[in-house]
Structure 1
Amino acid sequence: MATQILNKGVSRRRFLSGMVAASAASVVGTSLLAPRSAMAATDTKANFSGEVLSGSHWGAFRAKVENGVWVDTVPFEKDKHPTTMIDGVREVVYNPARVKYPMVRLDWLKHGYKSDTTQRGNNRFVRVPWSQALDFFYHEMERVQNNYGPSALYAGHTGWQSVGKLHSAGTMMMRAIGLHGTFLAKMGDYSTGAAQVVLPYVAGAMEVYEQQTSWPLVLEHSDTIVIWGSDPIKNLQVGWLVPDHSPYAYFDQLAEKVKNNEIKVIYVDPVVSDTQKFVGGDQVKVNPQTDVPLMLAIAHTLYTENLYNKEFLANYTTGFNQFLPYLLGESDGVVKTPEWAAKICGIDADTIRELARQMASGRTQIIGGWCLQRMQHGEQYAWMLVVVAAMLGQIGLPGGGFGFGWHYNDAGSVTSAGPLMSGFSGVTGVDPIHNGSYKGYSNFIPVARFVDCIENPGKTIEWNGHSVKFPEMKMAIFCGNNPFHHHQDRNKMIKTWRKLETVVSVDHQWTATCRFADIVLPATTTHERNDIEQYGNHSNAGIIALPKVVEPMYEAKDDFDIFRELCRRYDREEAFTEGKSQMEWIEQFYNGARLQGRGIGVRMSNFKKFWEEESFIEFPEGTEWVRHESFRNEPDLEPLGTATGLIEIYCKTIADMNYDDCQGHPMWFEKTERSHGGPRSDKFPLNMQSTHPKHRLHSQLCSSTEHRATYAVADREPVYISTEDAKARGIKSGDIVRVFNDRGEVLAGAVVSDDYMSGVCRIHEGAWYSPLEGGKPGTICTYGDPNVLTQDIGSSKLAQATIAASAQVEIEKYTGTAPAVTGFHGPTAVTDINPLFPAMDLE
């Protein structure tokens, strides 16, 4: 029996019938039709003028506020290397894409879960009261749980958290939905999906999100730094928490050492990166997706020229002898010589040998990026990089070994001696109301396969040693999360999306996910609520208060209040809040760190003083640290987390899974499509890279109009193309071009650059999907979403991760009249619903 709704909202049927005779104002209420700013006279920030210290994924700042309006942003004085992206943060609050009110898709409002889902994406929504939207939300969860069980409700899809220890959108969602019932969850993520699965088997940890060796030790001890497919200068602008941008000071020092020939820096990359431009050094231009053959040839050179560390391999690794027959061609008839690799990776054999010799000539730090593991068989790149580092024998030494996280979260900065705050938890210990059977289906899916799950219920796939049977997904819930940015092959996704009966999205921007949802709830931005956060990520430089900068716009509510009110409908409000207000939670997080600080000799003020007077606490400096040092010093007492406790060059655990596309040791596998003579390069000759953007955090800030104008080309997302390829196609910088393949087409603005080798182009991921005809598969994207063009197949049976980097395209100059960009405004006003419904004022 369904739990009684404590909020006495009317039923959907009564609501619709009431609209026949009532005006929008009488049904919704006059206050809903007014912007929040018109009602804010009594709110605490409504008429405030002054500065507010706050923080974001782009760093800390001081917001200048005049009469309750945020007018300017100044970087925090403690941040010596602020990013210009700070200028776009204010626009997150004020932009045309703000979700202003609770909205329901027109046809879903008429027909509920039996609606015409082909209309999703046409952006036609009707505004409803908060109480009604939450009733719809609750009723749908009840219907799905009662009729199908937890396997049909997908509520585990999360992305980048909101900055703040309390208001983590995905955590809020999973806590509230988990109190109602169990649900289908996800495993892995899009950022590091292949590496995070294979590296625990090989190196005993995920590695990708770990702290790296302290930069001062690298600068002191390294002779050579190989930056392999990574661009720290570009990517360190953002952080999971509030970044302090401290690594940039070390890159200044590295640039000086390169200039003085004290350290040699080599970039293995088809593109001249921002880091290369900043630091200097030499580039090895490798054909896209062929890094593994290059690594194998380096390993062959190290072995045949006796440049490898036999003692390290004997004492700290296992399986080298099982790998050798493949390296030497005894198992497959192909010797992995530099001559063999040269034909694939486009680097002559002598250069490969010179690179191997340089790496073996002294202390070498290998800095690996994430973009390369986002290709087909991306596991092999991560695994092989560890093998090369193991052969060099410098893992655990200062300035040597490997790392996969140097471009992320202030990595390499010295971690402070300060405490860490806890945060709001996604679990409560309270039993859910619904705890039904999954009916033989899996209770989780690999996240990059979630569209396959919707498309193929009942199908069984292999993942990381498990068989995963796809359930029949009926309802999906997203909070502060935009899968229409994350996922590949947009047109396949749109067609498959129609199989879902109900989609709920909670957000503060009209992302494509909102446009393809049925119920959209307006959340506050980080800067319209109170919170608290660590300042500095791996550096943990201090604690910063995140007080409300301005009052919430329109009818936006905090995620905490949204889900608290949802939980009230099934008598779980107390379990959700634990009887605490938002400020009481924030004080609890602070006091937990304060207590922890006492135990380690770090004194912190009481919360009242911190919140009202200080706003920021700086922690004492910590000590320098070497990754894997304890393992090197005492491998028996400090083993790695692998099955053997050693680095596994050959991994029996993986071998026993019997996967054809990921076997017992790293290997080269041809791709389904690849540039420079690879498969499909005859029809689509350009490898399209969709790396992390230079001017955004994934899709965040793309809706910031003024900020977007600083990098857009002809109002479109830039596509970077080599001078040679542009000349062959009659393209010049500033042209609108069509980028296309068999999966779709986008318009973009051309930037012609000598930084790109021929056969390579780039559109940064996170460009908002902006279809010419909303909801129609195959329509051109007017702004330049690269995932219209990427493949949606798994990296291998081991990780089933995204392969966004494995995409071939063609580019041509667009000669027609370019359509307007469609993606950066709110929903279309519904004015054609008479005689059944009077039009509602959406403004």
Structure 2
Amino acid sequence: MTKKMDRRSFLKASGATAGAVVATIQAEAIPLVGDSLLNDHEKGFSASHFGAVVTHTRNSRFESATPFEGDAHPVTLVEGLAARTYAEDRILYPCVREDYLKHGYKSDKSKRGNDTFVRVSWETAFDLVANEIKRVNTTYGPTAIYGGSYGWFCVGSLNNPQALLNRMLGITGGYTGRTCTYSTHAIRQITPYVGGTDESSAQPTVYPVLIEHSECIVFWGCDPINTNQIAWGVPTHGVYKYLKELKEEGKKRGVKFYVIDPVYNNTGMYFGAEHIQIRPTTDVAMMLGMAHYLYKEKLYNADFIKKYTIGFDQFKQYLLGESEDMVAKTPEWAASICGVPVEVIKMLAKECVSKRTMLMGGWSTQRAHHGEQPNWMLITLASMLGQIGLPGGGYGCNYHYSSNGVPMPAAATGNPLTKADADAKDFASASPGLSGISIKSKIKGPWDKAKMEIIPVSRIVECLENAGKEYNFDGHTKKWPELKMAYWAGGNPFHHHQDRNRMIKAWQKLETFVVQDNFWTASARMADIILPATTEQERNDITKAHTNEYIFAMKQAVAPAGEAMDDFDIFVNILRRFTAEQVLAFTEGKSKMEWIKSFYQASFDKAAKSGVKMPTFDAFWEKGYVYFETPESAKKFIKHEKFRANPVVNRLGTPSGKIEIFSKKIAGYNYKECKGHPMWFEPMEWAGSKVAKEFPLSLVSPHPKYRLHSQLNNTWLRHLEEVNGREPIWMHPNDAKKRGIKNGDVVRVFNKRGQVLAGAVVTEAIMEGAVRMQEGAWYDPKEAGKVGTLCVHGDVNVLIPDVGTSELAQGNQATALVEIEKFKGEVPAISIFKAPKIKGA
């Protein structure tokens, strides 16, 4: 009789082949081949930023994910979930940078990114992190620890790494946190002054109303066909159903579609929209030209301006050249800046005012120098059209984002424009919403007096460079705190922050940098202490649809890879190095599953008070989701409808209660780069600047098609559009011809901030003089840790300036001027998608 080989013997006998597998996944989980082929898949349920999914596990392997049956239009991104679980760059066990392991916070910071990593036990890692928190707290104070971790890592209500990190650091004494987001920095700071609410999240007029009433749709710097794939919560992609209806009904009714963008984007192509090519960062100039034409031709709605806005007279003086720069903002003036022909500017102005028009603004225009101005000016232009509050007319600043414009239950209507817009009768709904873990404990203790400091999120490098110096932000004068330690959980700052080489130098001011993540990202490779976390499909959690019509179970599909641990457990173990009271404050005496059940129970109780039935937790967990109806009234929502009906009763949240074309508050700040009304400020880099003589191409960096920022770039999905293994860069044929570049060439893209490789895509879909390179490609330096080295993969943020939008928002930018040349010599290999060599591994 042949003796059956046990698993341990099998692995030992398999030699190098087994060893290669063991390097990426747990040895004990590897099934015998003979046992694996006929087993049925075990089905589970989970969710992500790309959608809810059914997970398929066989022989302890998460093999695939199929879209949830309630997903209206599943996207390709969910296919990367299983692939990333077994990615070659998974962080499998705690590691410490070798020089840091030897010298601690006194280590050589210049070695970050190029030092050897050493595998350590979890106990050693917990001790190092806890002791460093204690040391920094004692030596410098809690605010010397930056816990502003930022990223899109997890949709779970419990294992939210940012919330948990803040909760843990608060319990240990405090930290410096962040405000705003890289996505909406300028818009969320400026629009409350203009319309009384944060227009990055306020619900715009819903699509069913647009489908029925709009006669003209202007997609201004937004690409909803592409960007609605993802959501901060879980997308159900219902927006695509409405976009399809909008296209079909638009053909029947003769609706005109325009896309204003340097690129003929996915949305323009889908709708067959007329493409108005505009030079990057010059949108305000074009809007001013349209406004001037409307005023001089007496086409604007003077009655709306008088009744619903304030400050038009001050703006009018600027528009006519009677104040500030004393230059009339004529269509001719605008055309010379934005590159849009005069006749097109006039045509669009007449189109918009003569038809029921929706101005669909996105977040792209505000991610630029003086990014406060485009949305302020868009609202001003919409006010001159006078259709705000009418069915199918007005403006929206966030249609490009999942759920915005989609009818939804009350608990997810965002920040309504007025109290009346959130009237319970209009939004009466079966949905109870779903809570998540708080950054503050309900258990009272010394942590209630934790010391806190807040900085604008995109100014972290400036903070490191200028500790103790004053800066202006949103009407306040503040001082940058002195940061000595940074702890990042579930984020990738060496992706989403700008000017990579400046950032590398600034990071050396940190004595300790901790990264808690799944993968060996560029950030993890720059860290001193690296803690491996589980993926969403390796743990249990609970979440909800971004549009609030579902609550989803997130069931563990597979055992964690290597020694990866849930974020919740990592923070509990760090706190065990403090006191039992602090551990209790963090857990509140509940296990992970008890936390999950408590979130569901809170929704259950809320629903019961409204007379809505929900299944028991066990029944919900077995099925994987619970559904809530969207009320018919939500399908009729019109932004500003009640404000228009009675602006006295339904005041906006501004000091005047009206739309503030001129803001006394902002004017009172006396800022040089953000004054009392919308204005054209020359950007630091644009086609008309001096920098353009040396770097003549205007670079834009939109959201990617096959990843969420940098997520999923380490899966096979990147091969769907990369060119010779490089991030693609679009160029107009004339620009390519001047440089001897052909489609498919590997090119060097550069300016004074840095240099990257890219793969050329020669296309007329982008205007001459502009180039397009998506954000999110992983930073892969040719000489790791060296400032100025070539990024061989194509991280566009190497090239983008790290300068605040203005003193008001201190937001981030997404454009730059560059030059491009065909790369000469042997093209360097990509190495970022494999784990680094680790001692003791």
Matched position secondary structure for 2:750: strand
The answer to whether the Cα contact below 8 Å between 1:217 and 1:399 also exists between their aligned partners in 2 is: yes
Matched position secondary structure for 1:761: strand
Hey, what's the Cα distance between the residues in 1 that align with 2:243 and 2:690?
Answer: 39
The answer to whether the Cα contact below 8 Å between 1:123 and 1:827 also exists between their aligned partners in 2 is: no
Shift of 1:545: 1.1
Matched position secondary structure for 1:499: coil
> Which of residues 436, 448, 452 in structure 2 aligns to 1:423?
436
1:342 aligns with 2:335: yes
The answer to whether the Cα contact below 8 Å between 1:145 and 1:434 also exists between their aligned partners in 2 is: no
Shift of 1:608: 0.8
Distance of aligned partners of 1:777 and 1:294 in 2 relative to their CA distance in 1, 3 Å threshold: same
> Which of residues 65, 72, 81 in structure 2 aligns to 1:89?
81
> Which of residues 499, 507, 531 in structure 1 aligns to 2:517?
507
Matched position secondary structure for 2:477: strand
Aligned equivalent of 1:3: none
Aligned equivalent of 1:570: 578
Matched position secondary structure for 1:185: strand
Shift of 1:431: 6.0
The answer to whether the Cα contact below 8 Å between 2:149 and 2:490 also exists between their aligned partners in 1 is: no
Aligned-partner residue type, residue 525 of structure 1: T
Alignment of structure 1 residues 560-709 onto 2, 5 Å: 560-571=568-579, 572-612=582-622, 614-622=623-631, 623=633, 624=635, 625-675=637-687, 677-704=688-715, 706-709=716-719
Hey, what's the Cα distance between the residues in 1 that align with 2:236 and 2:355?
Answer: 32
Distance of aligned partners of 1:829 and 1:646 in 2 relative to their CA distance in 1, 3 Å threshold: same
Shift of 1:308: 1.3
Shift of 1:123: 4.8
Aligned-partner residue type, residue 816 of structure 1: G
The answer to whether the Cα contact below 8 Å between 2:757 and 2:793 also exists between their aligned partners in 1 is: yes
The answer to whether the Cα contact below 8 Å between 2:29 and 2:60 also exists between their aligned partners in 1 is: no
Aligned equivalent of 1:21: none
The answer to whether the Cα contact below 8 Å between 1:367 and 1:404 also exists between their aligned partners in 2 is: yes
The answer to whether the Cα contact below 8 Å between 2:25 and 2:86 also exists between their aligned partners in 1 is: no
Aligned equivalent of 2:531: 521
Post-superposition Cα deviations, 1:547-573, rounded to whole Å, max 9, x if no partner, equal 011111100000010011111221211
220-229 or 61-70, which moves further after superposition? 61-70
1:495 aligns with 2:488: no
Aligned-partner residue type, residue 38 of structure 1: A
Hey, what's the Cα distance between the residues in 2 that align with 1:534 and 1:524?
Answer: 20
Matched position secondary structure for 2:137: helix
Alignment of structure 1 residues 352-391 onto 2, 5 Å: 352-391=345-384
Post-superposition Cα deviations, 1:746-801, rounded to whole Å, max 9, x if no partner, equal 01111111100111111111111110111110000010000110101111011111
Hey, what's the Cα distance between the residues in 2 that align with 1:36 and 1:275?
Answer: 41
Matched position secondary structure for 1:184: strand
> Which of residues 55, 58, 67 in structure 1 aligns to 2:50?
58
Aligned equivalent of 2:147: 155
The answer to whether the Cα contact below 8 Å between 1:445 and 1:468 also exists between their aligned partners in 2 is: no
Distance of aligned partners of 1:469 and 1:386 in 2 relative to their CA distance in 1, 3 Å threshold: same
Hey, what's the Cα distance between the residues in 1 that align with 2:40 and 2:446?
Answer: 44
Aligned equivalent of 1:232: 224
Post-superposition Cα deviations, 1:386-415, rounded to whole Å, max 9, x if no partner, equal 100111111122211111111112221111
Aligned equivalent of 2:282: 290
Aligned equivalent of 2:14: none
Shift of 1:829: 2.6
Matched position secondary structure for 2:756: strand
Hey, what's the Cα distance between the residues in 2 that align with 1:821 and 1:305?
Answer: 58
Hey, what's the Cα distance between the residues in 2 that align with 1:715 and 1:257?
Answer: 41
1:262 aligns with 2:254: yes
Shift of 1:258: 3.5
Aligned-partner residue type, residue 194 of structure 1: A
Aligned-partner residue type, residue 242 of structure 2: Y
Matched position secondary structure for 1:259: helix
Hey, what's the Cα distance between the residues in 1 that align with 2:449 and 2:589?
Answer: 28
Distance of aligned partners of 1:797 and 1:103 in 2 relative to their CA distance in 1, 3 Å threshold: same
Matched position secondary structure for 2:487: strand
Hey, what's the Cα distance between the residues in 2 that align with 1:328 and 1:431?
Answer: 60
Hey, what's the Cα distance between the residues in 1 that align with 2:159 and 2:449?
Answer: 29
Hey, what's the Cα distance between the residues in 1 that align with 2:232 and 2:255?
Answer: 30
Aligned-partner residue type, residue 637 of structure 1: V
Alignment of structure 1 residues 382-531 onto 2, 5 Å: 382-416=375-409, 417=429, 418-430=431-443, 443-531=453-541
Aligned-partner residue type, residue 298 of structure 2: N
Distance of aligned partners of 1:69 and 1:752 in 2 relative to their CA distance in 1, 3 Å threshold: same
The answer to whether the Cα contact below 8 Å between 2:220 and 2:260 also exists between their aligned partners in 1 is: yes
Number of residue equivalences: 788
Matched position secondary structure for 1:266: strand
Shift of 1:724: 1.7
Aligned equivalent of 1:810: 819
Aligned-partner residue type, residue 802 of structure 1: N
Distance of aligned partners of 1:392 and 1:548 in 2 relative to their CA distance in 1, 3 Å threshold: same
Alignment of structure 1 residues 712-731 onto 2, 5 Å: 712-731=722-741
Matched position secondary structure for 1:63: strand
Aligned equivalent of 2:313: 321
Post-superposition Cα deviations, 1:525-545, rounded to whole Å, max 9, x if no partner, equal 01100111112x1x3221121
Shift of 1:679: 3.0
Distance of aligned partners of 1:599 and 1:279 in 2 relative to their CA distance in 1, 3 Å threshold: farther
Matched position secondary structure for 1:359: helix
Shift of 1:435: 8.8
Shift of 1:131: 0.9
The answer to whether the Cα contact below 8 Å between 2:24 and 2:90 also exists between their aligned partners in 1 is: no
Aligned-partner residue type, residue 685 of structure 1: P
Hey, what's the Cα distance between the residues in 1 that align with 2:593 and 2:482?
Answer: 40
1:544 aligns with 2:552: yes
The answer to whether the Cα contact below 8 Å between 2:119 and 2:838 also exists between their aligned partners in 1 is: no
Matched position secondary structure for 2:669: coil
Matched position secondary structure for 1:85: helix
Shift of 1:437: 10
TM-score, with length taken from structure 1: 0.91
Shift of 1:362: 2.1
Aligned-partner residue type, residue 370 of structure 2: H
The answer to whether the Cα contact below 8 Å between 2:217 and 2:357 also exists between their aligned partners in 1 is: yes
795-804 or 260-269, which moves further after superposition? 260-269
The answer to whether the Cα contact below 8 Å between 1:782 and 1:822 also exists between their aligned partners in 2 is: no
The answer to whether the Cα contact below 8 Å between 1:161 and 1:240 also exists between their aligned partners in 2 is: no
Hey, what's the Cα distance between the residues in 2 that align with 1:391 and 1:769?
Answer: 45
Hey, what's the Cα distance between the residues in 2 that align with 1:421 and 1:558?
Answer: 21
Unpaired runs of at least 5, structure 2: 1-21, 410-428
1:783 aligns with 2:793: yes
The answer to whether the Cα contact below 8 Å between 1:504 and 1:518 also exists between their aligned partners in 2 is: yes
Aligned equivalent of 1:829: 838
The answer to whether the Cα contact below 8 Å between 1:176 and 1:563 also exists between their aligned partners in 2 is: yes
> Which of residues 164, 179, 189 in structure 2 aligns to 1:197?
189
Hey, what's the Cα distance between the residues in 2 that align with 1:396 and 1:161?
Answer: 37
Matched position secondary structure for 1:656: helix
The answer to whether the Cα contact below 8 Å between 2:91 and 2:517 also exists between their aligned partners in 1 is: yes
C-alpha RMSD of the superposition: 1.8
1:249 aligns with 2:262: no
Hey, what's the Cα distance between the residues in 2 that align with 1:804 and 1:297?
Answer: 24
Aligned-residue sequence identity (percent) comes to: 47
Hey, what's the Cα distance between the residues in 2 that align with 1:292 and 1:679?
Answer: 20
Distance of aligned partners of 1:158 and 1:336 in 2 relative to their CA distance in 1, 3 Å threshold: same
Shift of 1:634: 2.7
The answer to whether the Cα contact below 8 Å between 1:672 and 1:679 also exists between their aligned partners in 2 is: no
The answer to whether the Cα contact below 8 Å between 2:211 and 2:250 also exists between their aligned partners in 1 is: no
Aligned-partner residue type, residue 176 of structure 2: L
Post-superposition Cα deviations, 1:479-514, rounded to whole Å, max 9, x if no partner, equal 001111111100000011111100011101111111
168-177 or 633-642, which moves further after superposition? 633-642
